[in-house]
Amino acid sequence: MLLTSCQEKEPYPIPNVAVSISLNLDLPSYQNLNAPGGWVYINGGSRGILVYRNFDEFVALDRHSTYESTKDCAIVSIDSINSFVLNDSCSTSQYNITDGTVVTGPAKWGLKRYNTSWDGAYTVQIYN
């Protein structure tokens, strides 16, 4: 016997925005990404994108808060004590910098993650 629920699944709260960005790591504005643990904010996505280098992988997360997403909230800082945690500007929600998952707080959804590719030298592509 198959059981189904009448409840609708809550939709992901962050809008889909086309993203196709190329970063040249040789430029001064992206120098922080030349070493693991480095990060930068860039324009793009819904409310900006945080790009983080996790060894030979680049993680690109939309800064649009998933908690009360209709408010003008964004991820504004990396936690001063735990550098792997991102702080939400409008709630006590915190997200993991390596994958965007919720660490603590009222947020139910993780941050939107964009695809990345790296040529192994100077170019990182961010796209969806």
What predicted TM-score, i.e. pTM, was given to this entire model?
Answer: 0.89
CB 81 within 8 A of CB 94: no
Per-residue pLDDT of the chain (128 residues; tens, 9 = 90+): 555 555 567 789 999 999 999 999 999 999 999 999 999 999 999 999 999 999 999 999 999 999 999 998 888 888 878 889 999 988 989 999 999 999 999 999 999 999 999 999 999 999 99
Give the domain ranges of the chain: 20-127
Which 3 state secondary structure label does DSSP give 47?
Answer: coil
CATH code for 20-127? Answer: 2.102.10.10
